[in-house]
Structure 1
Amino acid sequence: DHQDDGVTRVWLALVLLCRVAASFNNAIKFTESGFVLINVDVTEHQLSLSITDTGCGMSEQQITRAFQPFAQGDHSISRRYGGTGLGITVVQRLVNMMNGELKIESKQGLGTKISVTIPVEAKFSILNTPQEISTEDREILRWLKAWGVPHQSSKDQNTFNLVRSNQWQNLYPDHLLSALTTSRDPLTYDTGNRYQFEGNVLIADDDPINRLLFTKQLKQFGLNAIIVKDGQEALDILKQSDQVIDLVITDCHMPNMDGYELTEIIKSSPELSHYPVIGCTAEDSKLVVEKAERVGMNQVIYKPYSFNELAVALEQLLPATCIKQHPNQPWASNYSEDEQLQMASVIFESFTADKSMLQDEKENIKEVSHRIKGSAGLLGLTTLYRAAKDCEKDPNNAQKLKQLTDELNKSIESASIILKRLNLQ
């Protein structure tokens, strides 16, 4: 449960708070029947977090003992449920580190309520969205109201409609918030500026929130998103569309045809097997990895994935022609201007010499590619590294040699730009 106070951002010690929340698992461990209720309330200067359960409860004496290290309510608890008895002691110390307060209310045989209050700095604001939102989903409506987002409770042709289409859908408030807003996080923009692509990505996902989020993220990368609701629609696009598709991203669990079945059909078809496929799932388990490998998924990203994780996956799997190398090379940000000058000079001269060797029929292309691969790996030039690795494996392949040469040209040009900026060329 949460209070609709219009808070959109809170500044606090997130790592410590997460450790406090994780320590509340006793509420589930000791509750064999009934319920566990978590309540969050944020005001301008205070965050209140409480967890109430209908578990075994504690007496006043047991509550006192709970604050002592390596002590539990009674000795039978460790035998029945396991654990060391450090839970409340650790929570108390974490809360104290945040200048907060911890309170326990409990009745033996009825249940327990643990309350934590922490001083915070909260920001109240109305989220700006490109258009009014409409939805008939009561849970989504609650979050839209809490965030002050203009919305309607019915469909309208001039609004963006949000709906969880079936029982497969779970509502993740962080995903909903990300989908509705353009991130103000500087790191996100840095990542977007570092990774820039061009091309078309086919997205198969039955969740409208995820589809909107993917569309906004890919647009920030310079990519066009083609959106479908399930694997069958994706397969129809791949087989019938005249539009060039450079990459497929599919949710693993969808009705009609899930991502595993879609991938298996793609990879087993001679006409479609060249398409790289990224699977997307919230289920992080060994089973997912085994199923993904079995059907031929090139990579899996796990929800909630970071912007950088998506960027790296795109860079690894998009065709080289879709990747635009940003002039500000990854290595440049790690050095002072004098060091950048020295590095750019060495890179410019070394890669120019490597390029000449690649064009010389007398040279051993495999050895040159291997050397370039090592340098690119040290510098963090992922696309160049991948092109050199491919050429090293197949040095007689003219297309792979051309791709390596093209990537070398990009890195040479980027080094040249840095040299010009530092007024030494």
Structure 2
Amino acid sequence: MLHIGKMIVDRPPYALSGRPESDPAVALIDDVNLRLQTLTASSPEIARLARQVTRLIADFRRAVILLYRETDRFDLAVTQSHLAKAAVLKAMSQADEQLSSRSDALGLQIQQAVSEASRWVLGLSVMIALLSFMAIVAIVRRNFNRPLMGLLEHIDAIRRGQAPPAVATGQRDEWRTIHAALRDMTNELAKSRELLLKVIDTVPMRVFWKDRELRYLGCNPAFARDAGKILPQELIGKDDYEMAWAAQADLYRADDLAVMTSGVPRLSYEEPQTTPDGLSICLRTSKVVLRNDGGDVVGVLGIYEDVTAQKEADAELDRYRRGLEELVEQRTSELLATEARAASILNSAADGIFGVDADDHITFINPAACAMFGYDAGQVIGRSAHDLFHHSHADGSPYPASECPATRAALAGRELRVDDETFWHADGHPVAVTVACSPLFENGQICGAVISVMDVSIQRAARQAQEKAMLAAEALAKTRSQFLANMSHEIRTPMNGVLGFASIGLNNFQNPEKSRNAFEKILASAKRMLGVVSDILDFSKIDAGKLVIEASDMSLGEMLDQVLALADNQARAKGLGLRREIDPGFPARCISDSQRLGQILLNLLTNAVKFTPSGEVILAARLEGKQLVFRITDTGIGMTPDELRYVFDPFQQADSSTTRRYGGTGLGLSITRHLVELMHGEIRVESSPGVGSMFEVRLPYVSAAPSATVAELSPEKLPEHSLVGITILIAEDEVINQQILELILGEAGARVVIVGDGRQAVDRIRQDGPTAYDIVLMDMQMPVLNGLAATREILELAPDLPVLGQTANAFAEDREDCLAAGMTSYIAKPIDPDALIRLILQTVGPIRKTAKTADRPRF
């Protein structure tokens, strides 16, 4: 109270300014109020008591201000007295100036009286003011100052952490209430402080605080243990240079100074520390600045935790993480490579492959499947595979998904393979496939399936073709068996005639009539057998694609005469009429293959005669535009529509009974059709059972130039000794053939020399000279040296000597071989005597004389 009174007595002059808030006493009261607010902010109950204390302090504050105001009034009275004195002095001065003429005695009296009055007024004013002030001070001291000072001492003890002294509250209830509230607040503060200390002491974090000189002011036990298992009090006043971590002291102090200087906390940063045991550990530290009530920096507060184990765990975890990342990267790379390989395999697979989910929706599809079914991948992804590809049976009827074996297998988790199934293309045509279905599982549950399809349309067609071919082969085998039986019949029948009549002629050689009849029958049987062999050879050539059409200038009239003459004997033998109907505009000559054209017409004529029991056969010929039209009509047995379907097929006739009744190989009409096609023509047939048949042949007509005529010699034109003067060398290994040739050529007047092989022929030419012979008749197949090789050697000795080839092989390549070896021409066996003589004459010219008869060698 003394220091407060002193502050009041010693008030500065500025108290008169009317700003009592600037007085030190008021400032002290405000400071007490601020400290109370700071100490009681942590508890609602204490805050409530503090509000009561604050109200009392506010009353005290108003009382002090009232005291100041009373004092101000006292000062004002003194001041007014001074002003009054000044006014009196001023009046006296004026009066003195006015009454200067008055006497000094009167003036002195007046001056003394005024002075005495002034002192009395001033003394009275001061006395009144002092009494008032002392009364107010006494009241304030009794009612406010002493309890207030007690409260301040109590609060200051709490601030210093000491036991607060008892407070004299006097007789006023307000002070007792304030004291009770302050006591409760003190207890609460003590509990809070105790709780705070317990928290600081028990937390695993290390807590410390330093002053501005960076000396330790305190810490918790955990920090003390890190410092060397000492008590927290032992660290007070020490700095980091005196600790076990002195090596890091500069680092720590730099951090402390940075926080205090900037005022910015530094939170959760890592720093090293050396323990008293010499170990290096890692700390995670946070530091904040400490300030006093005035906001001034007074130190730094820090907390940290040892994160060495965590760092090591993090490092180990990081190693594991890097290892795991490397492993994942490796596995990912391998997986990507595997996926790339799988995609490459999938995309390059020839079979169609697609996947479906558990609802049969397509999840992927490869290019082969897209091409197989005519879709793009974008058109099918997410759509039902069954609805797209498998919606119908092969016959087009609906195929419910519930009946689809692939769908059922996929949903049941079973593998399935169906070798003959039908899927459908986008354009609606069926695709024959083999289907393989493999289910997909995820967590033990079926999640879909992979379906592989292989297009077996070609295989199915091949299988069907194979089945068809097998049926055809079986039919052909049956037909060939019938054909062979027919061939046996056709060959044995004329062979029987040849052998039988040869025996008859041999036994009756002295009877010219019987002998002549036997030889005629032998000749007819041989020609019939030759026809069978020719049909077989022609069919073989056609089947091998080796039959060649040789077009040349030919006489249509002579060809028709020959054909009709050959068929006339057969028709007359059956009592049939055979007549011709030649249009007047039909050309006499054309460019065509005379042999094959005659063969076509002769086959049709003999076939008509064969199947005509009675009536007639007509051969009609006319020119229609650029086509030669030949029509053969008969009144025979005719054919049904079913028989017409295969009338041109090989080995076919009406039926087996017909074959036995009418004979024949069954190759004639097939050969005829192929010959017509090779000559770029057409053939058709019309027939009715019991009425007859009509075959029509149309061939391209190529006119012959008038000068392009061939002087063909008919048998009637050949003189009896047409080969007189011609010398022929014959190379033939078969004795019978030697004798036949010698008789045929000898009767024609030729001189004949016969050798048994090609080597003997060459030696004879070398021996007799190149001009000794007009022509050489060379067999193709002989021992020692064959005809081809012998021809080459002969032509080296005699380049101008013509060589004719003869062989039983009647194929085109045989003729080509003959011509390639240098032979002039070619004739097939069996040899027609007239054809041979005619060929020799065409080759050597009319009776060529190579030397005088006397100059020729004698044989």
Q: What TM-score range do you get, normalising by the shorter chain? A: 0.3 to 0.5
More helix by share: 2
Bigger relative contact order, structure 1 or 2, given CA contacts below 8 A and separation 6+? Answer: 1
The structure with the larger Rg is 2
